[in-house]
Every structure is written in C-alpha cells, then in structure tokens.
Structure 1
C-alpha cells in the first residue's frame, strides 16, 4: 500500500437515539461517555495517535431543537478545533441514527428527507470552507433494521415492509443531503457508509435466500445510485413489501454517487449463517467473520461501484490481545486487496474509546456496567468521571502508523 494513499483514522461513537418510550432511556453516546465535557482532550488524544482522519458526528437533535432554528454554540467550538488543527481531518456524520424530537414519526415522516437536507445545508454553509468530507447518514442498513424491521428504535416499525419504508426514506435523505451540500461546497467529498453483511449457509435448500440477502446488503448503494429498475433482482421483492414503482422511479431519476465507499465491518457482527429454526422460520444468527469475509464484501463493492473503498469502522469486542490480533488480520486483508487491484484507501478503528452498549436504553443498568471493551482507550470510572486510559491496542495502532509513515508496507 502506498503511503500517500492509505489513511489511518479513528472514530468516536456518536449514536443519538434520544426519543424515549416504553420505559426507555435516551441513548446519546457523547453524553454517556462524557465527551461533551471532554471533547478537546479526546481530540488531542486522537491527534496524538497519529491518525490523520476522524469520523465525527453532529448531534442534530441538539443543534436544531426547533424547526429551522440552529444553535451551533457547542459545534462551533469543535469545528474550530478542526480548523486550528488541519492534521486531523474530520469525516462528518450528519446523521447517526437519531432525529430531532420535533420530527414526529422520525425517519418515517414524509418530510424527513427535506428536513435533513436543510440541516445539512445549514451545516455546510457554516463550516464548508474547511470541512470537506461528509457522510450523509451512517449505516442505513442498521437504521432500517432497528427502526423499521425489529421495532427497537423510533418509529418502531416492524417487518420487511417497515425495513423498506425506512430504507427508502433515509436513502432519499442521503440524495437530498448530498445535493444540498454540493450546492454550497463544490469540492465536498462524500463517503457513503453502511454496515457490511455477508450471508452464508450450510443448507443447500437455503442457497436462494443467501443470494437474496447478499443482494439486499447493497440496497442503499443500489437505491441512491439509481440501479434498481424493473430488471433488478430486488425490484419485485421490494414491491412485494410495499415499495411503490413510483418510489423506485424517483431514485432512477435522482441518482448520486459516492466518492468513496465506506464499509463498516465487525467480525463478530457482520457475517450471518442462514438457517431455519424449530418452527421453520428463517433466522440469521451471527457467526465469527474473518479477514477473508471482508475481502469478499470489499471485492463485490468495488466490482459494482468502481470507487475506492475505505474501512470506515472496524474493531473487536474482547481482550486487548484479541483486538490487536484483529487489527493485524484486517490490515493483512487490506494489503491483499490492494495487491489484487482493489483500492483500500483507509482504515478506521471505531470506537476510539470504549462505548456504552446500546442495550443501555432498556437494561436499567448503570453506564459503568454497560461499557464495552472495543477501544484504543479504555474508559475507567472514578469519582463519577470516566477517565480515558490508553491500552496496548493503542500502542499497537500507533506503532503500525509509524511503520507505515516511515515507508513500511503496512
């Protein structure tokens, strides 16, 4: 991998799902991990790691607490930091799962695409002079799963009809967001980020399901780039579950392209083995993924879209030894892909420090009990504060960056 092409990045977990119902608690990772108070120290640590990019989210629900009224006070401070420290380039997550509270029905609201584009344009008008990298919406697939398929997050839809309703809504939002930013920041770079999936099976009778779901994993990219016409393998399936021909025609008429395809890959969560349960229902349990699985996903994405690929999230929930082992494995996969002519232009360790499990919304447990060991920095609670403690994974990450910057192959 050429030194001037491969970017080392980190990311701070920035899930914002703050509407509550049914005994839930707000899930604002910046609040729970005390990043709002420690943002400058956290960004200093990120710079000190040697990373040259950082994925960074904007809490839309705080910025726009009333429609078309924007409070940039906190965001101004953070964006000012990036302006002062251009060695750390932000990739801005404009939406990371949540919406403002005034937007009834959240992603299912018919006005959502225009509302998110308005927010994106306001951000670009304020910071676009020096903020050039944008992700319009993080992980449409997971958003559609949690908000539309499994009824876990607002607006609590269920089933494949709910999945596709949310998916088409957020995909429209991605298109309008990209157009809005481009109208202001003509040299903006768009990284379309989604959770990666790979489906396998040990049952020959389920091979057709594997084909279907391995197609569906690319549904956001297919929609926003205007690929789903009447001949597309997902067309009839989506129509069956409530997507109208007129909706798909809209996407055909309003395509946008990413500059970079962003793949989020977690070996513990990205690979599924399709089988049937005791009642005959198809189920998709996780199985442990490998670097080889990531290579298949990345190769297929590049074959389809002919765009550079960036690993926009990866890490491993486990011991420091397990995380270091995974870091080495995914870097080896990157090296092999580049040697095979598939341009992998960067790797993001995500999250930079430990996160609070999303189950916090309903578990009733304390933040300390819900901390998950993913990060380069561990979070340790003392006297009500979550202290950032550098661990051996960070040392390994920094060593690899130094080796790479000094001309090494990795």
Structure 2
C-alpha cells in the first residue's frame, strides 16, 4: 500500500463468471445477471459516494479473450478510463474469479491453463499498468478447488481429494506465472493474495485428526505459493497420497513468491465448520455461525504464518438489514481490536457492494430476480421495465457513517 495511506475502506462487486454449461445448467455471469455491464458507471459512482477508497473489481476473461490470443478490450477500456479519471477510487483488479474462456477445453485441468492465464494477465498489464497497481491473481483458490475439484459443482467437475489437490496445483501454477508476468511489465505492482478463510472444530475427540487436516487445507494455497510445503509439512504425505507428485511440490519451492498483502475473505455463515458424524456415521462439515472472534483468530494465524500485511478483502452477512448492520459493527470492531494489538491490518472490504444472484441460479430454473441474495449495502430490485434498480439501504448508510467517523 502507499506509504501515506491510513486505514482503507473498500467495497467489491460480485464478479463470478462460470459460463460453461452442461445439461440443465445456465451460465453464471454476475455482471450480466445484475446488469452491471450496463450500469457500471452508476455502480462505480455509488461506490465513490460510499466513501470507499478502493474497490475489488473483476475482469471477465471469457469475454475479453473469446478467441485465443485475440483480446477485445472495448468494454474494459471504458471502465479503466473511469478509474483514470477518478483516482480517488483505486481498483484491486480480480484477474480471475472462477471462470475460464470456452476455448480452454477442460478448463483448469487443461495443462496449458497456467500459461494461458499468465498471457492474459500480461496483456492486461501491458494495456493498463498506468492505471492499475493492485492485482488479485486469482480469487479464492480454496473455493475454486472446492467447487471445481472436491464437490464437482463447476467445470471441470472433479471430485474428492484427488480433484481438490489437482485443482490446487493447476491454480497455484497459474497464480505464480501470473505474478511473474505482471511483475515483468510493472515491477511496482502489488499482489493481493485473496483466499476464503475457514476454521474447523469438533466436539468429538476421535475426529481431531480430520479437523487438523482441514485446518491445514484452508491455508494450502498460501503455503504452496510461499514455498512452505516440503517433506516436513503436515499435508505433504496426504498430497502425495492423492496424486500430487514430488516434482510439483519442488516446482513451488523453486518458484515461490512473497506476499505483498494477504487478503482475508470471511463470512460468518460460511467460514466456520463443525466436524462431526451424521446419523449414518459419515463425517460431515456443516456450517455454524461464526463471530468476530473467529475472524480475529484466523487473522492472527495468518499473520503468524506469513508475516505479511493483512487486508479483509471480503466480508458481509446474508440476512436482514438489521443483521447486516450488526455484523458491520461487529466486524469493524474486530478490525480495530486487532490493530490495537499491533497487527498490520490495512483495510476492510464490504463484499458485495450490492446484492448478488445466488450461484444456485445455474441449476435452479428460477429467474435472476428470484435468486437475489440480501448481502449488499445497496438492495437490487427489479422494476416494471426489467431494470435492476440500486437502492441504498440501512447497511449502506451505516457504512458511510463509519467511514466518515473512523479515520484511522
């Protein structure tokens, strides 16, 4: 971050792009479903009015490079020119938010993926390095590997720990090559390594080993990128058991990167899991409602592991405006409690800025309006003309108050 920056208030626009479909599925492009492609200027104006100084903002790779090696920057040019004209709103560019172009067959499993994503990143940096200094090479590798590799929900539909670790390897190589490609063009670029954070616990002592495994898996991408996985690492033997080769681990040791900023994504309803057995004896991992204390625990551990500046790059609450305001207050209190401990916590991001369309839209058959999820500082409502109208709510007004009154 810039040396003269104090605490950073930020927002982010939901930008998931999973557009390959199989039978019964529909493309999931949040910009299309929320009409951001048409309303982008209004949305960025509202973000500036909120008092946010930074915004996490995604690029739809599948649209930009619809044909391999042929880049269409027309729409992106307009948005980037906005940031050029309004330097008071600094973008953190999400180069990858889940989806790949359709020409990349087998998506993340394709052996060419790491090089292809790095070429796209280089093309972006060459065009916009005068505007953009902050990058997220790939958003939430844990969730990406979970949906694409562990649970088989998204392409390439792998399952199990074999699929999970295969995705982690592919995504990780893409991240490293993306970082190197951008740095070759702009040596001053700042990398914000964002991942979903988790905390697992159990009341069953017999399941503690399972808890320990998943409390390591939640950090596995950062561990790899930082070159920390070796023969002594708690996950090393498990990764080899599920298909990772010693050569792959060695590759990350030889190509590791330091972290400019570690980005923490934490959602009270999704980030904390109890490990237990169901009625049939199977191990399950249900969500339990997390608090600011779990958020602080996760951040302390990330600081202890990586000794890098931290930024909360996503947090919010799915629920009523009252529930969202309560979480906004609680999570901000958690931030400044950590700063009072001396932790280098740079900023706070409410994500998403306005409501999103539930990812279940891909398979539910419901309309985008029916799938709207109440997360945002702005509520989305469909009017009689079929337009998604942005309406500031109590959460947005409270966010403005906090930003105005808390300066450091």
TM-score class normalised by the smaller sequence: over 0.9
Partner of 1:199: 200
Partner of 1:59: 60
Please give the residue correspondences for 1:175-324 in structure 2 after superposition, counting only pairs within 5 Å.
Answer: 175-324=176-325
CA distance in 1, matches of 2:217, 2:378: 35
Give the Å deviation of 1:215. 1.1
Partner of 1:9: 10
Give the Å deviation of 1:4. 4.0
Segments of structure 1 that go 5 or more residues without pairing to the other structure are none
Q: Normalising to structure 2: TM-score of the pair?
A: 0.98
Partner of 2:377: 376
CA offsets 1:52-100 (integer angstroms, 9 cap, x no match): 0000000000000111110000000000000000000000000000000
Give the Å deviation of 1:3. 9.5
1:37 aligns with 2:38: yes
1:165 aligns with 2:166: yes
Give the Å deviation of 1:5. 2.6
Give the Å deviation of 1:125. 0.1
CA distance in 2, matches of 1:5, 1:117: 32
Partner of 1:325: 326
SS in 2 for 1:22: coil
Partner of 2:397: 395
CA distance in 1, matches of 2:186, 2:226: 20
> Which stretch of structure 1 is more off in the superposition, 2-11 or 117-126?
2-11
Q: Is the 8 A contact 1:3 1:404 kept in 2?
A: no
Could you list the runs of 4 or more consecutive aligned residues of structure 1 that deviate by over 4 angstroms after TM superposition? Answer: none
SS in 2 for 1:345: strand
Give the Å deviation of 1:130. 1.9
CA distance in 2, matches of 1:284, 1:397: 33
Partner of 1:75: 76
Aligned residues: 405
Q: Is the 8 A contact 1:270 1:286 kept in 2?
A: yes
Q: Is the 8 A contact 1:129 1:185 kept in 2?
A: no
CA distance in 2, matches of 1:310, 1:31: 28
CA offsets 1:21-45 (integer angstroms, 9 cap, x no match): 0210000000000000000011000
CA distance in 2, matches of 1:64, 1:131: 19
SS in 1 for 2:185: coil
CA distance in 2, matches of 1:336, 1:237: 37
Give the Å deviation of 1:310. 0.4
Give the Å deviation of 1:278. 2.5
Give the Å deviation of 1:203. 0.8
1:353 aligns with 2:351: no
